Chains A and B, each alone.
Chain A
């Protein structure tokens, strides 16, 4: 959440694989669940179309990785390129957070989704495609594999392996400190007012 005050440092947990490219936000949280007026309670609808065989969410799809017993309790989502494409709905990171994910590890992300994750203290880690292959293989071989994502060190490590990842400094700072972004900008009110005062009459 934008006004979160809890920072993200490191997280250790097991992962669940979602081995697909171009997973869009309509798949993450379909439109029929966007009628809420709060940020809470979206986790049960996460990946609805793939996760349930029925519309009432009573019959889990046993083939879908999130439903497999070996991946129960996973707090890290592994996926592929262009994750979170499409609609700007922030309900996507809300639903991932509410389900229990703390971090996503993927090849790449769509821009709006990436920013929405940062604003919700959900760390989006991007790794090279070959590194993702290694991570998928390791989790397939051992579903309870413990993976540590360390934000200060910018590393993903498991067993003897460690990969480093890039993240923009300002995103890292916001995640580490859990800053109130609006509160920070409001401290610049004088500069905003000065900018407004310079605008022409028609603007």
Chain B
């Protein structure tokens, strides 16, 4: 029977069949300070060891300041968590990139740029945006802390096979439309829980034409459609990205690896449990209007009314979301003023994202009523951006240029909004209170965020094209 990419990666990792569950091998385990302390404590209580410290890599990202390299910059509780990670990594022989290290960064930016993530791997992390790594054709998914402990102790997980979903985005992407717009449009189409229980494979011309960084943006938000993981078949774009990266295979190992990676694609005639198709030409720059990522519209579309939804639960959700967001049905996004802009996160904190934002920022100044911050996703991204002079473009335009970290995506640090703030954000979640209690988050692409900073509202980035 013809196999999907998911079938191939899944089957290659089965160690044992345990009734309905499979015991699967985990090739790469990424850890950070927030979801690992209790897992290490569990190991230590039972006197258990980390089975494969060499397959485990740690970084500091969520609880750190992006204004200061001081470990206690966000207070003693955050500092304790960071010290705990450092101690646990040292005790168990795990490579850690701490604050200030050149390789430190948001876990899902750091891993790929070092070549730690390769096609056909299984990748886990105690973080739901682990789906990012599916961009490489790796089966990558977020896990809870009990599972982090299980992987540390055994390098395996017990898993049930998920259902499969093919999402095809046909045709070439229009000018001004980005990977962020693709994934938001997909979530808008299938809904915030539309892929629950599924592993998505993204395909079609608009997907295969994306760079690796753009593919990461798409896969990153698979969880925002409820999916277990998102996958894109590896191709020459993938291999070119990986070649020469620090942890990528070298010499003969590289040749052997590429030969295997080339077998990782969905075969003709393979079937999926669900198939969804979108036309790239129909996608406008996306802006979320509500409090989940499925509540999204094109920038040129009026804010919907609860009456536009036939499902009573969606209707009720829309009503509540409009209330929280301080919006009314029929409002034009072009008239909605923002007072904060956040450019960064594991979704949009990579060098291409910063280039796209700088391209818009260089033509204007951040308006007086807006506070705008740019947070590179890693030490490498920061260094590269500075080498290209992007930091200068941003600071000249009135943006703050920060140190790498998760920052305002979730505000587990000193970057928080307050009630009533309205933020154009390149992050991944617009949940109530996500960026600060009572604060309103609108998810957009980096270019749209930069345009919002220099206009003070949701401007259509297509109007900025030369």
Chain A residues within 8 Å of B, Cβ to Cβ? 1-3, 20-22, 24, 26-27, 30-32, 34-39, 49, 55, 80-82, 85-90, 93, 108, 110-112, 115-116, 119-120, 168-170, 181-182, 185-186, 188-189, 191-192, 195-196, 200-203
Contacts and interface: CB of A to CB of B under 8 A. Distances in A.
B226 A195 contact: no
Contacts of A115: 143-144, 147
The interface centre, meaning the residue of B147, B153, B320 with most chain A CB atoms within 10 A of its CB, is: B147
26 contacts: A20-B316, A22-B193, A24-B429, A27-B433, A30-B437, A31-B412, A36-B37, A39-B145, A49-B433, A80-B313, A85-B192, A88-B127, A90-B146, A110-B226, A111-B197, A116-B145, A119-B144, A169-B19, A181-B158, A185-B23, A185-B158, A186-B153, A188-B15, A189-B154, A191-B16, A201-B256
Contacts of A203: 27, 121, 257
A85 B226 contact: yes
A156 B432 CA distance: 32
Contacts of A89: 34-35, 144
Contacts of A116: 144-146
Q: Describe A's contact surface by its main secondary structure.
A: loop
A150 to B, nearest CB: 22
Contacts of B153: 182, 185-186
Interface stretch (B74-82, B203-211, B371-379, B388-396): B74-82
B464 interface: no
Contact of A182 (B48, B144, B432): B48
A119 B147 contact: yes
Nearest to B37: A37
The interface centre, meaning the residue of A110, A182, A191 with most chain B CB atoms within 10 A of its CB, is: A182
B146 A119 contact: yes
Contacts of B412: 31-32, 34-35
Given A111-B228, A170-B19, A185-B154, A86 B431 contact: yes
Interface string B148-160: 0110011110101
Nearest to A34: B34
Interface in B32-46: 34-35, 37-38, 41-42, 46
B160 A87 contact: no
A90 B34 contact: no
Given A34-B412, A111-B196, A191-B23, 7 more contacts: A1-B146, A37-B80, A85-B193, A86-B429, A119-B144, A182-B150, A185-B23
A115 to B, nearest CB: 6
Interface of B: 15-16, 18-21, 23, 25, 27, 34-35, 37-38, 41-42, 46, 48, 51, 62-63, 77-78, 80-81, 84, 121, 126-128, 141-147, 149-150, 153-156, 158, 160, 192-193, 196-197, 223, 226, 228, 249, 253-254, 256-257, 260, 292, 313, 316-317, 320, 410-412, 429, 431-434, 437
A115 B160 CA distance: 11
A203 B119 CA distance: 10
Contacts of B34: 34-35, 89
A2 B42 contact: yes
A81 B254 CA distance: 46
A111 B412 CA distance: 24
A82 B192 contact: yes
Nearest to A52: B437
Contacts of A26: 410, 429, 431-434
B145 A90 contact: yes
Contacts of A37: 37-38, 41, 80-81, 84
A144 B316 CA distance: 27
Which are the 10 A-B pairs with shortest beta-carbon distances?
Answer: A2-B146, A116-B144, A119-B146, A37-B37, A202-B253, A90-B144, A202-B249, A88-B142, A82-B193, A90-B145
A22 B434 contact: no
Nearest to B25: A195
Nearest to B260: A200
Nearest to A189: B154
A116 B143 CA distance: 8
Contacts of B160: 168, 170
The interface centre, meaning the residue of B21, B196, B253 with most chain A CB atoms within 10 A of its CB, is: B196
A119 B148 CA distance: 12
Given A86-B128, A169-B20, A195-B15, A38 B41 contact: yes
Contacts of B313: 21, 80-81
